[in-house]
Amino acid sequence: MRPVISIVGRPNVGKSTLYNRLTRSRDALVDDRPGVTRDRMVGLGRVGGTPYWVIDTGGLESEGGSLQQMLRRQVDVAVQGSDAVLFMLDGRSGPSPDDIEIAGYLRRCGVPVFPVVNKTEGLAPELGTAEFHALGLSNPPTAVSARQGAGINMLMEHILDTVSATGAAAEVDRSAPHVGVVGRPNVGKSTLVNRLLGEERVLVCDEPGTTRDSIRIPFRHAGRDYVLVDTAGVRRRSRIQDKLEQFSVARTLQTIEQVDVVVFVLDAQAGVSDQDARLAGLVRDGGRSMVLVVNKWDGLTNEQRQRVRRELDRKLPFLDDVDRLFVSAKFGSGLGHLVPALARAYSSAMADLGTGRLNAVLQQAVAAQPPPLAGRRRSKLKYAHQGGKNPPQVVIHGNLLDKIPESYRRYLSRRVARAFGLTGAPVRIVFKSGENPYARKASRGTGKRGK
C-alpha cells in the first residue's frame, strides 16, 4: 500500500513546484504570486525508490483571517490520513512567525514531519538550514531546490525508508480476488454493492459522501469467492471541506493499491467529469485492472446515451481496453454481466505470458512499426520475458532502449494486451539495456593511447 505524503507550508515557498517535480507533472499551477494554489492536488509520486501518493495544499498565512482557523481547515485536513508531512520553508527569507506557528502545530500532530528548506541554490546546505533548527521538529531540516531538483532524490529516499520502517501496511488476505468499488460521491457505489450482494449491507443515502471509510464484504458467485471493497467517494478537490472527508480520500487512494480489480463507477446522468478522468488515471497509473460501470443508464434518451458514449471516448481514451457496462444499480438492469467482467479483468491481471509467444509478439510488433531513430541509430529490441503479474509486466532486453519514447512503450503494451486477449489490465513494459561490448574495448584502447 503506497504511503500518503502531504506538502504544507505558507504561500510562495515552492509547494506546487515540489509537487510537480515529485509527480513529474505540471498539474499544480506555479506562480510567483503567493496563494495561487487554492484546491488540494492529489497525484502519484515518482521520485524516490517506491511510488507514493502526494497531496499538495494551499498556502497558510495569518493575513485576512485567523491562522489557527486556517490550520484547522488546511493543515489538519492534509495531515489526517497522511503517513508523512513535508513542511516547506523558504531558505532565502528564514523562519517567519507563521512558520513558527505552523511548526508548533505540526509537533503535536503525531505524524512524521520533515522540514524542507527550499530555494537554497548557491548556498552551502549547513548555512541554508542553520536558522530552521530552532523550529524544534524531530527531523532535521534538509536543503533542497524544488525548481532545479537538487537534494530531492536523497530527501525522498530518506522519507520513504522512514515511513516504511515505522508504518508498515496491514496485511491483506489474498486468497480471494479483492474488488474495489471506486468513483465520485453519489454515483451509486453502495447501491451497486448491495445489488451484487442481494441484501442491504451498505448504508445508502442521497447525501454525497455517506461512505466514510472502506468496507470489506466477502461474497461468492458461481462457485468463486470475492471480497468487495466499497470505498468512500472522491469528490472535486475544491469541495473537500472537512478533515474526515480528506481522510476518506486518502483511504480510497490506498485502497486502490490493495485490490486486484477496480470497478470504476460513473453517473451517466451527470456525464463524465474532469474529476472522473483524473481518478480513472490514478487507478490506471496504480496498475489496477479495471471494469468501467456507467450507472443510472435507465431513463436516458437515445440522444443522451450517445452523448455519454462520445464523452467516454473523448475523456477516457486510455481506457479503450476496459469492459464497459451500462447498468442501473437501482433496478438491477445490466448487472448480470458485471461478475463475468470482473473475472476477465482478474484473469488478465494474473495471466501467464509464455516466453516463446511473447517474443513472437515482440518481433511482429517491431516488424509492423520499428522504434523511431535515436539520432542516426535505432534502438534494438532483442528478447522479452514476463517480469511479474498484477499488473502483467513484460521485461524487454536490448540496446539503446533508454532512447525509446513513451509513445512506443504504449504501442508495445497495446500489442501485447491484444495478442494475449487481456481485458482491462494495463501491461507494463520495462526496458533493460544490455552492456555495449565495444565500450570496454574503446576504454582500453583510450588508456593505451594515453600512456
pLDDT digit string, tens, across residues 255-273:
777 789 999 999 999 999 8
The dihedrals phi and psi of 385, each to the nearest 5 degrees, come to -155, 160
Binned at pLDDT 50, 70 and 90, residue 33 comes out as very low
Binned at pLDDT 50, 70 and 90, residue 237 comes out as very low
Task: Identify which of 238, 180, 239, 237 has the alpha carbon closest to the alpha carbon of residue 208.
Answer: 239
Contact 248, 227 (CB under 8 A): no
User: What contacts 47, CB < 8 A, 6 or more positions away?
Assistant: 21, 22, 24, 152, 153, 156
- Per the prediction, the chain carries an average pLDDT of 79
HSE toward the beta carbon, residue 281, CA cutoff 13 A: 13
**Residue with grid cell 503525531, as numbered in its chain:** 110
Is a pLDDT exceeding 50 seen at residue 207?
A: no
Kindly report the number of other CB atoms within 10 A of residue 161's CB atom.
Answer: 13
Q: Report helix, strand or coil for 196.
A: helix
- pLDDT (tens digit per residue) in 8-23: 888 889 888 999 899 8
- Beta-ladder partners of 380: 399
Task: Identify which of 309, 241, 310, 233 has the alpha carbon closest to the alpha carbon of residue 276.
Answer: 233
The dihedrals phi and psi of 119, each to the nearest 5 degrees, come to 60, 45
Contact 2, 53 (CB under 8 A): yes
The residue that leads in pLDDT, 440 or 155, is 155
User: What contacts 346, CB < 8 A, 6 or more positions away?
Assistant: 177, 260, 261, 289
Is a pLDDT exceeding 50 seen at residue 402?
A: yes
**Residue with grid cell 486468497, as numbered in its chain:** 175
**Residue with grid cell 468487495, as numbered in its chain:** 228
Rounded-to-integer distance, Cα 383 and Cα 398, Å: 7
The model scores a pTM over 0.75: no
The residue that leads in pLDDT, 340 or 31, is 340
- pLDDT (tens digit per residue) in 300-358: 999 999 999 999 999 999 998 999 999 999 999 999 999 999 999 999 999 999 999 99
Q: Report helix, strand or coil for 113.
A: strand
The dihedrals phi and psi of 219, each to the nearest 5 degrees, come to -155, 165
Q: Report helix, strand or coil for 423.
A: coil
CA distances from 15 to 161, 365, 449 (A): 22, 42, 51
